[in-house]
Amino acid sequence: MRLLFILFQGLAWVISKMSDRCLYAMSSFTSFILKHIIRYRTKIVKDNLKKSFPEFDKKNISSIANQYYKHLGDLIVEVLKTPGLSANQIKNRFSFKNQELLENFAKEGRSIMVLIAHMGNWEWLGPGLQLNFPNFEGSAVVKPLSNPYFNKYINDLRMLHRKDSVIPFKQTLRIMLKNKEKLTLTLLAADQTPHKSEIVFNTSFLNRLTPFFTGFEKIAKMLDQPVVFANVFRTTRGHYEVDFELITNEPKNTAEQEITLAYVSMLEKAIKSRPYNWLWSHRRWKYVPTEEKEQ
């Protein structure tokens, strides 16, 4: 495994030095290999798309799948390119809609929770937000990868342009409580799949009953942090727009699951507007909930 990782590091170093022209030629090649040679989770992708969009015919599903693998190729090479980008280059890869929403909370001295999903380039988004909104001390909640070598590699990338920016998933509450006196922006990918033993809440999402974590809602209420949804999508290759939408600025006054349901609704709308942009190769519905669990 270590030898494989050393070979990967060599390839990653080469990619990090590539020009954009070479980088996206590599992306196109990567997309072709993933879809047609390795056939990386092609059955999972098509099954997820068919069940999420029953109104689409086979041609439409195939078209979205093709766009998805192109998007996935771009995502992979862009992440590997990260060490070759300066802080200013990453900063300029993003444009923002409704950015005054975050700026106003910074002026008020209020820490915020920004809920994202596996859309656009979520790995660039962390440093992108920190660099464009420097009044906040930014951090991202992450789940560790099973391979320790790759886990260290990806976490090192996440901290290239900012320090102490990674919060291990199981330490989220402890670290956020520790930082409650600071002006923070905490990024959470709230579309992840709870383990079977952790499922306590399910709701309708993309035509299917789907489990969601609710811990972020409890933390927002406990710390009284405004919650914002960030819709991230590619405008041109290597450049992204982030559209902020307020979920609540008074979390303590929301009903149970109100924040979670608002997030789910906004996420579903974002996915439907750009179906290729979400992580369809993820086994999002591997734990099929029973109807009795629906809230």
Which residue range is the domain that position 119 belongs to? 2-293
Q: Which residues contact 84 (CB under 8 A, 6 or more apart)?
A: 16, 17, 18
Surface-to-core class of residue 45, CB atoms within 10 Å of its CB (0-12 exposed, 13-18 middle, 19+ buried): buried
**Given this model, what pLDDT does residue 293 score?**
43
Contact at 8 Å (CB) between 160 and 127? yes
Name residue 254's amino acid: T
Surface-to-core class of residue 89, CB atoms within 10 Å of its CB (0-12 exposed, 13-18 middle, 19+ buried): middle
C-alpha 124/C-alpha 162 separation (Å) is 12
Q: DSSP 3-state assignment of 169?
A: helix
Q: What tokens were used for 229?
A: 């949804």
What confidence tier does 289 reach under pLDDT thresholds 50, 70, 90?
A: low
Name residue 283's amino acid: R
Q: How much of the chain exceeds pLDDT 70, in percent?
A: 97
**Given this model, what pLDDT does residue 292 score?**
41
Rounded-to-10 torsion of CA 249, 209, 271, 46: 160
The pairing of strands 202-205 and 208-211 is antiparallel
The owner of tokens 């962390």 is: 126
The 10s digit of each residue's pLDDT in 62-85 is: 999 999 999 999 999 999 999 999
What confidence tier does 164 reach under pLDDT thresholds 50, 70, 90?
A: low
Surface-to-core class of residue 195, CB atoms within 10 Å of its CB (0-12 exposed, 13-18 middle, 19+ buried): exposed
- pTM metric for this prediction: 0.94
**Given this model, what pLDDT does residue 120 score?**
97
Q: Give the CATH number for residue 46.
A: 3.40.1130
The 10s digit of each residue's pLDDT in 187-224 is: 999 999 998 989 999 999 999 999 999 999 999 999 99
If one counts the domains in the chain, the total is: 1
Residue 271 reports pLDDT greater than 80:
yes
Residue 295 reports pLDDT greater than 70:
no
What strands, in cross-sheet order, belong to the sheet with 227-236?
A: 94-97, 239-248, 227-236, 112-116, 184-189, 137-142, 166-168
Residue 33 reports pLDDT greater than 80:
yes
